[in-house]
Amino acid sequence: MAKSAMRDLSYGVFILTASMGDKVNACITNTCIQVATNPTRVAFSVINANYTCDFLKQSQYCSIGIMAKSSSFGIIKNFGLQSGRDVNKFINYQYEKNEKSIAYVSTDCVSTLFLKIVSKTDLGSHTLFVAEVVDEKIYKNEEVLTYAYYYSNIKPKKEEVDKSKKIIAWKCKICGYIYEGEVLPKDYICPLCGHPAEDFEPVYAE
Ligand code: FE
């Protein structure tokens, strides 16, 4: 399958919030689509290595916040570029709970879907969840964020590599995985968290 064709697919950007016991975690996903009506069902997938995926595998309910085009990089960085295993993601951003105690994050979202998970399929790298929409909240009438818009207008451009220093390795900014070597292949995928080469930063010799 040609990689260039896969890059032509379009996606939204979402805040996925899940609970496990009294713990709540949230992450950013770009995979959520409606797949059925009567009842309305959506499908979304989450990288198996993600902490939120552990929560989803054990829970029946979750929420998906549909992000606004005006979203800041700050919130995407907070929920998407660090792990809830290492930090508390709810210091600068709060979650709320709806009438049925389903946790959700409304910041920078136009609306939220409240979901009851009806199937979980392990796809190897990711788990595919199918869920029934049991409730929703609408906050504002604003254009939604697409992954393409995020990539070209919100995500900071890659920092310039300092050519005066020697690169000895590359570090995944998402999970901390270290790739040993001077040149990181362009199509490299982090074996721990599944993020692409763009999410790695150089590690320089002392
Ligand atoms: Fe990683």
Ligand 1 centroid to residue 12 C-alpha, Å? 21
Ligand 1 centroid to residue 140 C-alpha, Å? 34
Averaged pLDDT, 179-204: 90
- What is the pLDDT confidence band of residue 42, given thresholds at 50, 70 and 90? very high
pLDDT digits (tens, 9 = 90+) for 107-156: 999 999 999 999 999 999 899 999 999 999 999 999 999 999 999 999 88
pLDDT at 54 over 60: yes
Ligand 1 centroid to residue 77 C-alpha, Å? 14
- What is the pLDDT confidence band of residue 175, given thresholds at 50, 70 and 90? confident
Quick check: pTM over 0.85? no
Ligand 1 centroid to residue 173 C-alpha, Å? 7
Ligand 1 centroid to residue 174 C-alpha, Å? 5
Alpha carbon distance 43, 129 (integer Å): 6
Phi, psi of 133 (to 5 degrees): -80, 115
Sheet of 61-67, strand order: 23-29, 14-20, 61-67, 109-122, 126-138, 41-47, 32-36
Place of tokens 């409606």: 34
Averaged pLDDT, 3-28: 91
pLDDT digits (tens, 9 = 90+) for 95-104: 999 999 999 9
Please report, as a single letter, which amino acid is at residue 85. Answer: R
- pLDDT of 2 reads 53
| Torsional sign, CA 52, 113, 117, 30 | negative
